[in-house]
Structure 1
Amino acid sequence: MFMSNPLQFILAGVGTEIGKTVVSSVVVEALQADYWKPVQSGALEDSDTETVRRLISNTVTRFHSEAYRLREPLSPHAAAAIDGVQITLSAFSVPKTDNHLVIELAGGLMVPLNDRDLNIDLVQQLQLPVLLVSKHYLGSINHTLLSVEALQQRGIPILGLIFNGPETPASEDFIVNYTGLKSFGRIEWGGEINREFVSRNAASVKPLLEEHHGSL
């Protein structure tokens, strides 16, 4: 299921514990896209790549190897220092594929990769649009608007927003109306996060993603 104009983008969260890997699984399944996690910090035996692999059902998705696999579950710059590794932006390049591609960041946009470079610098280098994951909690409006502003200040295109967690219309409506960004729906919580959960949510976001892809 390869195509001439694949939809390739970076999936970033507005903070930590946003559920990016679950959202990545849903989006990967919806598009039967390839998946790449540039930096994995900690959980090397049960990495985010392995989590996505376990949660999807399609047989088209290819998983691309991380550029850095760090042992400690810390910010990449701190985990790299413990491992005696120096993360450099020159080590990253978008995997070659003719398929759709989802790239999941390690943490939020302002997470440091080394003493000078942040995740947002990596985003800027990869030159792909961002799908921003927001999760409803006290302070999420502020974190989401700050993330949007940071991307816009650097001229980084934003594909849109996807919400994760229980429905909170007041927050969701304000964020969408204030930013003017497209919403790709919300990941409905409830029950165990497994293949059925991912498949069910993938079916709900797939039409929105396909509509966007068809408009390119």
Structure 2
Amino acid sequence: MAIFVTGTDTNVGKTIISSWICLHLGWDYFKPIQTGGNSDNSFISSITGVPAYDSIFSFSEPIAPHVAAKINGSSIDIFKIQLPKHRKSLSNKIDSIPTTEHERSNFISAATQTKDWEKENNKIVIEGAGGVLVPLQKNGIKMVDLIRHLKVPVIIVSRSTLGTINHTLLTLEALRAREIKVLGVVINSTCEESLEYNSKAIAEYGSTEILATFPHLKEVTRDSILSVQMHDSMKTLLESH
């Protein structure tokens, strides 16, 4: 059982919302592609206390993943990214592409991994890097292709500010065009004046559900995040996938 948390942009609040879900539901955390060091894993671990699996591809530069990989003489292969089959079993980074049939055979298909994960009844929040169309490889592979590879449903984190309607509808369109299931949208609120209108517009024109509105936190701590209540309907929705 897993969900993928994506966003309409960088710094839209994906990590905060991921930690919120982990805290309320006790799910594990996995960010397969990390740029800018290991800050998100460290944050999740310190805030939630849940297992945070090592990123498969991690780069110190806070830039787009495909650029960071190129600078480091590497390449991001989405087929190396697998859902952990057992709790805390994923601990080793992979930084080279398998070149032989033997190496390829060591990787289990996404469908099999997902089936095994559900069988074990483990639960995990997967966080993406940037938005759904951020490039991962020079051959055109994008974050949305990783989501499709993992075969998991998506929650979109969006802003409440001007421009969010367009950004959110574009994200919905990109996901649906690839037949990826969208559970709904969480709006990370920073602009109360436009929140109500933008929420209604996203729900109506995007034919989607606004799962929650997350308030602006003056201080980001375990207690402040946990104090934001999660509706039972959202808990039920997430637990059913």
What residue number does 1:39 align with?
Answer: 33
- Report the CA distance between 1:210 and its aligned residue: 2.1
Consecutive aligned runs of 4 or more in structure 1 exceeding 3 Å deviation: 213-216
List gaps (5 residues or longer) in structure 1.
Answer: 1-5
Kindly report which structure 2 residues correspond to 1:51-62, keeping only aligned pairs within 5 A, or say none. Answer: 51-56=43-48, 61-62=50-51
Kindly report which structure 2 residues correspond to 1:63-212, keeping only aligned pairs within 5 A, or say none. Answer: 63-97=52-86, 98-116=121-139, 117-166=141-190, 167=192, 168-201=195-228, 204-205=229-230, 207-212=232-237
**Amino acid across the alignment from 1:51:** F
**Amino acid across the alignment from 2:159:** K
Distance 1:40 1:215 in 2: 28
What residue number does 2:16 align with?
Answer: 22
How many pairs does the alignment contain?
203
SS of 2:130's partner is: strand
- 8 Å Cα contact 2:44/2:52 also seen in 1: no
**CA distance change for structure 1 residues 23 and 214 in 2, over 3 Å: closer, same or farther?**
closer
CA-to-aligned-CA distance 1:155-196 (integer Å, 9 cap, x gap): 000011111023310001110122222222111113201111
**Amino acid across the alignment from 1:139:** G
What residue number does 1:3 align with?
Answer: none
**CA distance change for structure 1 residues 109 and 213 in 2, over 3 Å: closer, same or farther?**
closer
**CA distance change for structure 1 residues 85 and 215 in 2, over 3 Å: closer, same or farther?**
closer
Distance 1:193 1:55 in 2: 9
Q: Percent identity?
A: 33
Normalised to the residue count of structure 1, the TM-score between the two structures is 0.89
CA-to-aligned-CA distance 1:100-125 (integer Å, 9 cap, x gap): 21000011001111102100110110
Bigger radius of gyration among the two = 2
**Amino acid across the alignment from 1:22:** I
SS of 1:106's partner is: coil
- 8 Å Cα contact 2:3/2:125 also seen in 1: yes
**Amino acid across the alignment from 2:189:** G
- 8 Å Cα contact 1:184/1:205 also seen in 2: no
